[in-house]
């Protein structure tokens, strides 16, 4: 089967010290049926989509058969969940192994929902079809938007029910990641107090994700700085498209800099920094406007785990870590402002740019403007589509923006092209995602999801066929809420 499908597994994670994982096979399911397969991605990974769709391939995606060369395991990690520390682990996920693609890229192949593990903490280890399809849609949309992310290879229906508030159809998602090493993995190592294990994890992480720093003077400080840089860039990209992760626990922050865990996430329609979608985030800890601050908080927790490796003297180690973490806000602000300049067609830098951007956002918040469509209207000079069109304060802002554009050497059309490349026409709007999930889960109709995925696959195309997916939802008296799926 391995030769036919194209699996090319290595299992380097299992060479880490034993506390970091538990070897175990997935639990078989009753009647696996392929729901959706990411054929272009399969080809990119060097996998045969037809073979994956056949009985043996589906059996592997369902956990009923372990592919040749795989060495399944559940990973241990810890994490701060809504600020409270806990020892955790893969409660409903099993890593089959690391697959090497034809271009030499190493990626984790993980099954999400394949049964109980030693870290399930009373859970059933299973997943429902709706949340797995949701992760498939959102993660692939994020990839198309150019945002570092785990990706989805397939979803398989299990033929078995799972029980949450109600009985739901079960499913297993095949998730692909640069790795599943998290801030929480380092917290697990540090929490056990075994310095040799912590060093082994740090060395493995550097070898896997940051080999260029391996020969540096203080490679563990370099690791901290590289992770800070990647997270500053990642979270700025979230902010630029209005993405709200929803559960930024430290176990959901990857060391690779990829977005992971698409449980209660959603995209913002109306611009409001206080926007929260998650049903369990009652205090707004992970609101849209808080994401950069939570990112810094999580990175401070990561820095704490590295203290024994940064310097033998504890006070000196703390000083080194604080100095590194203090650079996050400036890095984030630069990535974010550079991205906002691109969204407004600004090809150079001026000191007043941050004020120009801030004033536009204030207008959007005041008039409850749609975030994505505001930038889209500015891109195509369709000012009449703006909710604040005709307002004196917008006219003044627009005049300032035009004057700013006029001071650039680039042609006006160059600025427009930059805006077209930086402002998506479509995002996975919540009502459209729910529409697709409802059709698939309740009616077995995947055509709605397929059409949505096609529109989301080229978010910067601005094609006529995308128009229907650009419309915000009709006003309702009820706020949109998302759930973690467990």
Rg (CA), the chain: 23
Q: Which residues contact 425 (CB under 8 A, 6 or more apart)?
A: 376, 459, 460, 461, 462, 463, 466, 469, 470
Catalytic one of 90, 108, 197, 251 = 251
- Residue 87 to residue 384: CA distance in whole angstroms: 53
Angle CA 344–432–373, to nearest 5: 20
Q: Which residues pair with 78 in a beta bridge?
A: 87
Work out the number of other CB atoms within 10 angstroms of the CB of residue 380. Answer: 14
Find tokens 């975030």 and name the residue: 371
- H or E element that contains 143: helix 129-144
Distance of CA 151 to the CA centre of its chain: 9
CA distances from 184 to 81, 127, 280, 308 (A): 10, 22, 20, 17
Q: Is 353 a catalytic residue?
A: no
- Residue 61 to residue 320: CA distance in whole angstroms: 45
Burial class (CB in 10 A: 0-12, 13-18, 19+), 7: buried
Q: Is residue 424 a contact partner of residue 460, using CB atoms and an 8 Å limit?
A: yes
Q: Is residue 186 a contact partner of residue 127, using CB atoms and an 8 Å limit?
A: no
- Residue 413 to residue 38: CA distance in whole angstroms: 36
Identify the CA nearest to 212 among candidates 201, 199, 225, 200: 225
- Residue 301 to residue 187: CA distance in whole angstroms: 8
Length of the chain: 486
Identify the CA nearest to 405 among candidates 322, 343, 335, 449: 343
Helices 219-241 and 314-325, packing angle to 10 deg: 30
Find tokens 């272009």 and name the residue: 40
- The residues assigned a catalytic role are 251
């Amino acid at each position: 089967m391995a030769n036919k499908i194209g699996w090319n597994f290595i299992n380097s994670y299992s060479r880490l010290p034993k506390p970091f994982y538990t070897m175990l096979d997935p639990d078989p399911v009753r009647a696996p049926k392929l729901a959706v397969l990411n054929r272009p991605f399969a080809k990119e990974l060097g996998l045969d989509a037809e073979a994956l769709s056949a009985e043996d391939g589906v059996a592997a995606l369902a956990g009923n058969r372990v592919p040749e060369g795989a060495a399944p395991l559940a990973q241990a990690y810890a994490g701060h969940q809504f600020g409270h520390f806990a020892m955790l682990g893969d409660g409903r996920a099993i890593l089959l192994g690391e697959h090497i693609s034809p271009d030499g890229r190493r990626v984790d192949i993980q099954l999400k929902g394949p049964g109980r593990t030693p870290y399930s903490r009373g859970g059933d280890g299973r997943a429902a079809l709706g949340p797995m399809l949701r992760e498939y849609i959102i993660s692939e949309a994020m990839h198309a938007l150019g945002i570092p992310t785990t990706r989805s290879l397939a979803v398989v229906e299990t033929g078995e029910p799972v029980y949450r508030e109600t009985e739901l159809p079960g499913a297993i998602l095949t998730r692909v990641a640069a790795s599943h090493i998290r801030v929480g993995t380092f917290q697990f190592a540090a929490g056990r107090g075994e310095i040799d294990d912590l060093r082994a994890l740090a060395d493995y992480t550097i070898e896997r994700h940051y080999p260029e720093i391996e020969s540096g003077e203080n490679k563990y400080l370099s690791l901290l700085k590289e992770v800070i840089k990647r997270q500053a860039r990642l979270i700025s990209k979230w902010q630029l498209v209005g993405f709200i992760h929803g559960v930024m626990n430290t176990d959901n922050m990857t060391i690779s800099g990829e977005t992971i865990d698409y449980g209660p996430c959603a995209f913002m329609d109306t611009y409001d920094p206080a926007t929260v979608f998650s049903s369990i985030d009652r205090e707004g800890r992970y609101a849209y406007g808080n994401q950069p601050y939570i990112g810094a908080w999580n990175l401070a927790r990561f820095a704490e785990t590295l203290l024994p490796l940064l310097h033998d003297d504890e006070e000196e180690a703390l000083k080194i870590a604080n100095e590194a973490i203090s650079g996050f806000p400036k890095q984030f602000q630069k990535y974010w402002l550079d991205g906002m300049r691109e969204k407004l067609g600004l090809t150079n830098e001026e000191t007043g740019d941050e004020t120009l951007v801030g004033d536009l956002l204030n207008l959007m918040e005041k008039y409850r403007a749609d975030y994505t469509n505001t930038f889209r209207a500015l891109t195509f000079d369709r000012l009449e589509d703006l909710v604040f069109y005709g307002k004196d304060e917008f006219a003044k802002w627009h005049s300032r923006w035009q004057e700013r554009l006029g001071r650039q050497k680039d042609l006006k059309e160059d600025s427009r092209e930059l805006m077209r490349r930086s402002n998506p026409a479509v995002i996975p709007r919540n009502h459209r995602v729910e529409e697709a999930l409802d059709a698939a889960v309740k009616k077995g109709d995947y055509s709605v999801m397929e059409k949505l995925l096609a529109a989301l696959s080229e978010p910067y195309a601005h094609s006529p066929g995308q128009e229907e997916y650009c419309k915000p939802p009709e006003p309702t008296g009820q706020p949109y809420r998302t759930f973690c799926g467990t």
